[in-house]
Structure formats: structure tokens, C-alpha cells
């Protein structure tokens, strides 16, 4: 017998192809974290059964201003699947998105597991294999981005695609907190920020993510990709846009929002 959470999960899956749906107020209160993650989990297991492979996680709502806007006091997370990855310098078909926006981030690739529900930033640092400039292409299956905390969590953290710079760097010696970010579209600067935008330091966001997932019995593993949260405002995409994220001292990542 389908539960209300099953019904919401199906509604969100259908929205990927049928178009955005109304906010999920009929089944999820705006701050219902448990219910929202239950919906996300239903769809994650469904997609895994369809053959999609999890390659990591994303942290969202890592900026205090956005948390305040949505009435919450913590970040959220979503699942990264292998088929969400866009090659650095590659193309993303606009036909695969509904209402996408791009945001520049710092990403980590892990070289060791993070099994503790009390993971510290130092433990994350010790587990990081490489640090990369990244772009997350967020999208919402909720019409007009009229989201609450529960809407975005249920909708897999409003995720869609991501691009990672091919060249990663070892963490030692990098200034993550002070790293300046500049994102351009077609050569025009559209977003700026700094590493500290992600909970004060991207390692803090990664530690929150690692601890939260370990407490849920789904700890991060060696090889996983972690997107640590936006470093500046997200920007809506239009077909043929060429997006480039430059993160000082870390690297550059690009993709073009166009059909190959």
C-alpha cells in the first residue's frame, strides 16, 4: 500500500519528464526534515534499482542567509549519481533540465572512508585525496523555485548535474577559507564569493555532511565526491551559455549549456 511519502516521491520522479509540480505542502510541512529525507530515500533506492550508481553527495544550504530564508538552522544534502556528471569543458543538453541555475563550489574527492558520526574538519582534511573547482547545476522540480526546506530536501537537494575540474590538487597548503571565487557566463562575471561562504570553510560543510551520513548508516567512502556548497549566488542558465568557475589557488571548471 503506497504511503503519502511514496506518492510524493512518484510525483517528483514524474516531474523530471512531465514538468515542475506545485510545492509539496499537501504532504510535507515546510520544515519536516524527517518526512523530506524519507521521500529522498525512496527515490534514491528507486533510482539505484534502475541501475544508477551513487558517486558522492552534495551539501546544500551552507550559507547562513539561505538557511534564514528557508527557516532552518542546518544545511541539507542530496545524492550525486554518476550520470549527473558533466565533463569539464563538456556540454549539458538543455533538454535535460527544467529551470536550471549554476553555482560555483569547492569539491573534494575522498581517499579514505569517514565512518564517524562525530567527524571533525581535521578528519575530513586527512581523508581528502584531491580538491577541485566545481560547478553544480541545480534545478527544481518545484514550479518557479517556490521551495521550502522540505521541498528541496525531498527533491534530492534541488540537484541536477555537476562538473568537476579534471585537475585536482592535494589539500596541503591550500587556503580554502580565503579562496576567491569568480563565475562567468559567456565571459561576463555573474557571481563572486569566497570559500568561507560554505559554513565558514568547505571542510566544515564536509564534516557536517560526513557526520550526518554516518549517523544515518550511510557513511562516506574513499572515492566519493563531495560538493561542499555554493561560494556565491546561483545564476539562471539560458541555452548556449558557457559557464566558467575560477577559484583562486584551486583551479578552473567550465561547461556549455547546449546540445552537443
Mean pLDDT score, 250-259: 98
Handedness of CA 122, 74, 253, 12 (dihedral sign): positive
Which pLDDT band, with edges at 50, 70 and 90, does 73 fall under? confident
How far is the C-alpha of 151 from the C-alpha of 20, rounded, in Å?
12
Whether the per-residue pLDDT at 1 is higher than 80: the answer is no
Pairwise CA distance, residues 192 & 211, whole Å: 29
How confident is the model at residue 66, as a pLDDT? 75
Grid-cell match 551513487, residue found = 54
The distance between the two most distant Cα atoms of the chain, rounded to a whole number of Å, is 55
Please report the pLDDT score of residue 245 as a whole number.
98
What pLDDT, in 10s, does the model give residues 141-168?
999 999 999 999 999 999 999 999 999 9
Q: What integer is the mean pLDDT of 205-227?
A: 97
Q: Note whether 161 and 135 are within 8 A (CB).
A: no
Non-local CB neighbours of 150 within 8 Å, separated by 6+ positions: 24, 28, 29, 30, 31, 32, 33, 35, 36
CA-atom Rg of the chain in angstroms = 17
Q: Look at residues 178, 101, 163 and name the one whose alpha carbon lies nearest to residue 132.
A: 163
The pLDDT tens digits for 125-144 are: 999 999 999 999 999 999 99
Q: Where is 228: in which H helix or E strand?
A: strand 225-230
Cell numbers 574527492 correspond to: 109
User: Can you give the length of the chain in residues?
Assistant: 260
Domains and CATH numbers, the chain: 4-257 (3.90.850.10)
CB 58 within 8 A of CB 160: no
**pLDDT tens column, 189-207:** 999 999 999 999 999 999 9
Could you give the 3-state DSSP secondary structure of residue 143? helix
Read off the pLDDT band of 238 (50, 70, 90): very high
| pLDDT at residue 260, as a whole number | 84
Q: At residue 70, does pLDDT exceed 90?
A: no
pTM summary value: 0.96
Facing residues of 162 across strands? 85, 136
* pLDDT number for residue 142: 96
Q: Please, what is the average pLDDT of the chain? A: 95
**CB contact set of 90 (below 8 Å; sequence gap of 6+):** 163, 255, 256
DSSP states of 149-213: HHHHHHTGGG--EEEE-S--B-STT--TTT-EEEEEETTEEEEEEEGGGTTTSHHHHHHHHHHHH
Amino acid at each position: 500500500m503506497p504511503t503519502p511519502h511514496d506518492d510524493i516521491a512518484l510525483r517528483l520522479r514524474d516531474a523530471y519528464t512531465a514538468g515542475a509540480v506545485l510545492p509539496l505542502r499537501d504532504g510535507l510541512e515546510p520544515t519536516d526534515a524527517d518526512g523530506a529525507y524519507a521521500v529522498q530515500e525512496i527515490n534514491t533506492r528507486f533510482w539505484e534499482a534502475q541501475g544508477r550508481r551513487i558517486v558522492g553527495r552534495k551539501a546544500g544550504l551552507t550559507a547562513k542567509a539561505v538557511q534564514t530564508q528557508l527557516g532552518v538552522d542546518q544545511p541539507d544534502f542530496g545524492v550525486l549519481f554518476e550520470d549527473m556528471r558533466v565533463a569539464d569543458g563538456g556540454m549539458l543538453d538543455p533538454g535535460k533540465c527544467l529551470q536550471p541555475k549554476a553555482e560555483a563550489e569547492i569539491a573534494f574527492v575522498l581517499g579514505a572512508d569517514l565512518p564517524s558520526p562525530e567527524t571533525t574538519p581535521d578528519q575530513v582534511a586527512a581523508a581528502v585525496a584531491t580538491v577541485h573547482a566545481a560547478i553544480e547545476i541545480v534545478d527544481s522540480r518545484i514550479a518557479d523555485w517556490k521551495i521550502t526546506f522540505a521541498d528541496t530536501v525531498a527533491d534530492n537537494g534541488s540537484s541536477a548535474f555537476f562538473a568537476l575540474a579534471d585537475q585536482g590538487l592535494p589539500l596541503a597548503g591550500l587556503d580554502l577559507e580565503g579562496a576567491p571565487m569568480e563565475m562567468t557566463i559567456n565571459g561576463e562575471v555573474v557571481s563572486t564569493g569566497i570559500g568561507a561562504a560554505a559554513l565558514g570553510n568547505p571542510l566544515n560543510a564536509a564534516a557536517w555532511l560526513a557526520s550526518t551520513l554516518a549517523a544515518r548508516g550511510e557513511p562516506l567512502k574513499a572515492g566519493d565526491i563531495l560538493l561542499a556548497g555554493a561560494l556565491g549566488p546561483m545564476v539562471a542558465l539560458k541555452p548556449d551559455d558557457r559557464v566558467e568557475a575560477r577559484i583562486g589557488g584551486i583551479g578552473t571548471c567550465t561547461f556549455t549549456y547546449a546540445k552537443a
